[in-house]
Amino acid sequence: MGTNQSLIRALRNGSQADIARAITLIEKNDENMSEFLKLLYEEDTTPVPLIGLTGFGGAGKSSLVGVLAESLLKLGKRIGIMAVDPTSPKSGGALLGDRIRLQHLFPNENLFFRSFANKGSLGGLSPLLMESVKILEVAGFDYIFLETVGIGQSEVDITHFADVVVLVLSPGLGDEIQFLKGGIMEIADILVMNKMDMPSANVSLAALEAYARLLDEPPKVVPVSAIERRNIDVLLFEINDCYGRKQESHELEQIRKQRNRALYHSWMMQMLEPILDQCYSEGEVPYIAAKTFVDSIGRCLNEY
Ligand SMILES: Nc1nc2c(ncn2[C@@H]2O[C@H](COP(=O)(O)OP(=O)(O)OP(=O)(O)O)[C@@H](O)[C@H]2O)c(=O)[nH]1
Ligand SMILES: [Mg+2]
């Protein structure tokens, strides 16, 4: 049997070592990868709920993922945690913090943690991250949590990517809620007010609830405390409930179609990047150079 086939077989049992081997194979992007991905997609799998957590730095996303994972592990579930790797030195420290926060859960065959580069080469989420979701699916995982760092482009991306989007807030946001109005708040399925153990928390919660009621489709607001493990079961219930509703309404199918399309785009961008620069020389009119390049691809496609 070929190496790829035996790796796929091994993946079905889902050991950490085989998952890591599979991810490395895609990371290396060598001549084996194409066949491996073809086999991977031939596997008959049940989709794994992909739960995206987003929010301002320090709101408690990692802490929450940690306690959610802890609860689910106790139920015998297999959990994948993917952190989108920050690029700034400041958040580099946060990622180290994540490892420390999750440390008490390891070693555990049912928990897989991995961080990924912030973005694909030309923007968007990295193909490696998206293919890793598929790998964990084949490996029989029950939930995947995806934590993104900060509020920015990557947050907008996960809304097209995650099955359930959770926005994590913490008390004392003040004007930041205003800032959020235009974007993620409308798309989030669940708004979490974390750090409810803090003195000012009820005021912030009331403001958030008032705000949520104004939205066209008011999302659930869930007050929690990751540190005191308060209301974590309620949050889990809401996540499962939201997932179930989206499954019934076939919304999940749409999300997954968009996800595959986004993945196609990401791969395409990654493959194009090395040749894009070859087609541009200094002094050229940028628009004309781009159009000439794209038109020539168009001609090839017509002949294809
Ligand atoms: N009081 C209180 N502090 C909390 C709670 N949850 C997290 N924290 C603290 O808030 C800080 C930030 O928590 P993280 O879980 O790293 O937050 P994050 O959103 O992942 O932060 P980034 O990854 O940097 O964006 C840490 O010092 C946590 O101990 C909570 O429920 N109550
Ligand atoms: Mg974090």
pLDDT digits (tens, 9 = 90+) for 154-168: 545 666 689 999 999
CATH superfamily name and code, 45-258: P-loop containing nucleotide triphosphate hydrolases (3.40.50.300)
| Three-class SS state of 36 | helix
Predicted confidence band of residue 56 (pLDDT cuts 50, 70, 90): confident
User: Is the C-beta atom of 195 inside 6 A of ligand 1?
Assistant: yes
Write out the two tokens for 250: 């076939």
CA of 262 to the centre of ligand 2 (A): 24
> Distance, CA 178 to ligand 2 centroid (Å)?
23
Residue nearest to atom 9 of ligand 1 (CA): 60
Q: Which residues surround ligand 2, an ion (CB under 5 A)?
A: 61-62, 94
At 159 the pLDDT is 62
Total residues found in the chain within this entry: 304
| Structure tokens belonging to residue 48 | 């794994």
Poorest-pLDDT segment among 84-93, 207-216, 217-226, 285-294: 84-93
The torsion region of residue 266 among left (phi > 0), alpha (psi -120 to 50) and beta comes to alpha
pLDDT at 101: 65
Q: Where are the domains of the chain?
A: 1-44, 45-258
Is any atom of ligand 1 closer than 6 Å to the C-beta of 170?
no
- The rounded mean pLDDT for the chain is 85
Residue 180 has a pLDDT of 64
Contact between 259 and 158 (Cβ < 8 Å) = no
Residue nearest to atom 28 of ligand 1 (CA): 60
| Phi, psi angle pair for 5, to nearest 5° | -65, -40
71-111 confidence digits (pLDDT tens)? 999 999 999 999 876 554 444 444 555 666 677 777 788 99
CA distance 156 to 87: 17
- CA nearest to 14, candidates 138, 142, 143: 138
Q: For a substitution probing ligand 1, which of 54, 56, 61, 63 has the most ligand atoms within 8 Å of its CB?
A: 63
Among 54, 56, 62, residue to substitute to test ligand 1 (most atoms within 8 Å of Cβ): 62
Q: Are strands 220-223 and 164-169 parallel, antiparallel or unpaired?
A: unpaired
Residue 123 has pLDDT above 60, yes or no: no
Whether the CB-CB separation of 124 and 262 falls below 8 Å is answered with: yes
Asked if residue 62 has its Cβ within 6 Å of ligand 1, the reply is: yes
- Tell me the CA distances in angstroms from 73 to 11, 12, 61, 68, 127, one per residue in order: 20, 19, 18, 9, 28
Residue 165 per-residue DSSP state: E
35-39, 80-84, 128-132, 264-268 — which one is most confidently predicted on average?
A: 35-39
Q: What pLDDT does 152 receive?
A: 54
Q: How far is CA 243 from CA 95, 166, 205, 247, 249, in A?
A: 28, 12, 24, 6, 10
Measured in Å, residue 81 CA sits from the centre of ligand 1 at: 16
Query: What is the spatial distance between Cα 252 and Cα 298, in angstroms, rounded to a whole number?
Result: 33
> What's the burial of 289, exposed, middle or buried (CB within 10 Å: 0-12/13-18/19+)?
middle
- Looking up tokens 């001549």, which residue turns up? 31
Are residues 169 and 55 in contact, defined by beta-carbon separation less than 8 angstroms? yes
CB 27 within 8 A of CB 127: no
pLDDT of residue 115: 83
Strand 143-147 relative to strand 79-84, pairing? parallel
